[in-house]
Structure 1
């Protein structure tokens, strides 16, 4: 990492002057925490007692037999409290908020898991909480909105722009500028201005630390490949960090949507539709046109349709340390169905992108090798989208009956 949060040409902190002091305070607090020998043990202890850490590494015997290649393991971030890896980051940032003496937190969310995690953290620490969520995502992730509100958070449906994650981020930054003395913005992924990419990666690195130790315990050797879905990049950076210095291939899987040639996808690192630009406080690859205007994105998974990507992952693409692929909506539904039927696990639609690429490549490896898929979240939040994708008649009948009851 270079000065002021640069990863070669990516990253940085492009801030309005009014926010500079707030970011300086955040960076100083983060540095002090990292340098405090008691901080990480306190963080790990909190996660152990509150969020099921360490999460298991599950050997998928049936899938391994089905594909006939490498042994397939799943890192079970879906078993975290609130159902995804998001808890790792928000609880860590909650400890920093307490150190700064602030009493209110705000957050953006797409799939809703980060919003639920932030609202949970706020309830745990006694903070006021406001969540910004695009109107489109509010509609397709209604169960998560329900739980955020039950946890005491105020949920604002953002109606500007394309009404998805990037618009929620813009609205959250507007709030922060007006309330920075009392409020901390709990950015949910490894994007945004420095120190957020580094800070989110630091807290999510608990995934990779555990996974490396666990695979060595059961296999006695490192895996050949690690697979993780890539939206902003937090779960990918979390597990990749544990193996960065090892001879292990790291594979990030983006949202291929309706296909990379369709114009309806959210692939920044393996499509021709992205270019380097500066937006939302940092420099990375964005899906933008020749004039720098952000393009609309599409994914069956609400958490993967962000228009940018972590500057750390952008750099790791440029250096060749991480290989990137894209999975289409159709492939994701097929992989999700297979994982459910063969192993009884229900990955989130986001996580299922990683399963797609792992399933394609596992057969080409030998039975002596192993791979790890980071199951970054659980799929119950996706019940509406998944039921529609499976065209389930029983689900449709249930929804119709419920609608009739409400309108009776």
Structure 2
């Protein structure tokens, strides 16, 4: 495939990346998504929209975020060098604000007064509540009760920003159920609201829209790494749940001679219900209005999933990731809960950076890859900071005294 023209080719006019993607919705919602598609296709080529978004990113979000060389961590592992794209330094502490400010700007352009969303780890909810406050919009965030308890600091932040947090108490009470609940609310309110999906999932145009808004990560990182070192990294790495941070990181490197690794959550093991590694163990299916690779139970329904990282426990993955996997351009690998926790503590102890548990999966795999490569450089997207996770980690794993390198 010629990746020089990739972004012009994919998705196609029906929102497909090869055989993945599309729009699979109740008939009453189809016009609403067609309205969003038309509006996005208009503004994404508007100089005024692009200029305003760039101003917001520079003056409000604090972009560009830096690339940082993990010199001490790299030295403890060997001679291969690990670098981080510091999305944890983006305003609100994660990459999510990149697309939330874009979606909020789109909502204002469309004349909507309310934005509706789901959240797992709470970072998307906080970012969307921030965007709503910035643009003067109402905000409604649906969140599973399990995640509400696990991510209490982010729930507090959402409420302080003025969002209405809707607890979801059915099923496993986590991300998949939060999406179900948000869709139901949007179905009732789509005339004056816009549903702001939190990842590169859902019906077209959201996989494309969120990828486009998140591509600032990879575009900045590529330029920054070249400026720092004079060459491209040997490998690029990011965690994959639904896949927003990784899609934004990977897309600008598709045409480069760089290996790309998407790290899925292997959780507690390989049995169904113990993990959320959709590409590694899933099959083709339709969920939440789009066709991709998903984890299914024996009845063909979405399977129960688990990850220590609330933002990764989703039983499917963005359709573009499924396409990249099918094309062989991106290598999808895994990291367990324990490996992620180990990386969480090691980055904290050796670099003074406390990463989100989601990002810790990518860091864990990068550490493993660095040992295998022995030389070269790996660029990892540190998609968020771990403030939201410290209480949970301390309660279940202590303070990291057992997670140091043995000299």
Give the shorter-chain TM-score range. Answer: over 0.9
Q: Does the 8 Å CA contact 1:78/1:376 hold for their aligned counterparts? A: yes
Match of 2:242 among 232, 245, 257: 232
The answer for the alignment partner of 1:44 in structure 2 is 54
1:324 is aligned to 2:323: no
> Which segments of 5 or more consecutive residues in structure 1 lack a partner in the other structure?
394-408
The answer for the alignment partner of 2:378 in structure 1 is 371
3-state DSSP of counterpart to 1:260: coil
The answer for the alignment partner of 1:13 in structure 2 is 23
The answer for the alignment partner of 2:172 in structure 1 is 162
> Which segments of 5 or more consecutive residues in structure 2 lack a partner in the other structure?
1-9, 401-407
The answer for the alignment partner of 2:136 in structure 1 is 126
Structure 1's 174 and 263: CA in aligned 2 closer, same or farther, altered over 3 A? Answer: closer
The answer for the alignment partner of 2:258 in structure 1 is 248
Deviation at residue 64 of structure 1 after TM alignment:
1.7
Match of 2:315 among 287, 297, 307: 307
Task: Trace 1:141-160 onto structure 2 (pairs within 5 A).
Answer: 141-160=151-170
Q: Where does structure 1 differ by over 3 angstroms across 4 or more consecutive aligned residues?
A: none
The answer for the alignment partner of 1:93 in structure 2 is 103
Task: Output the CA distance in 1 between the equivalents of 2:396 and 2:266.
Answer: 16
Q: Does the 8 Å CA contact 1:211/1:242 hold for their aligned counterparts? A: no
The answer for the alignment partner of 1:388 in structure 2 is 395
Deviations 1:184-230 (A, max 9, x none): 11101000000000000000001011001000101111111011000
Match of 2:204 among 191, 194, 198: 194
Task: Trace 1:152-301 onto structure 2 (pairs within 5 A).
Answer: 152-261=162-271, 263-271=273-281, 274-301=282-309
Structure 1's 97 and 262: CA in aligned 2 closer, same or farther, altered over 3 A? Answer: closer
Q: Report the aligned-residue RMSD.
A: 1.3
Match of 1:342 among 336, 346, 350: 350
The answer for the alignment partner of 2:7 in structure 1 is none
Task: Output the CA distance in 1 between the equivalents of 2:310 and 2:374.
Answer: 35
**Bigger CA drift: 96-105 or 62-71?**
62-71
3-state DSSP of counterpart to 1:293: coil
Deviations 1:372-407 (A, max 9, x none): 1100000010022211232359xxxxxxxxxxxxxx
Deviation at residue 351 of structure 1 after TM alignment:
0.1
Task: Output the CA distance in 1 between the equivalents of 2:226 and 2:373.
Answer: 19
Task: Output the CA distance in 2 between the equivalents of 1:69 and 1:355.
Answer: 16
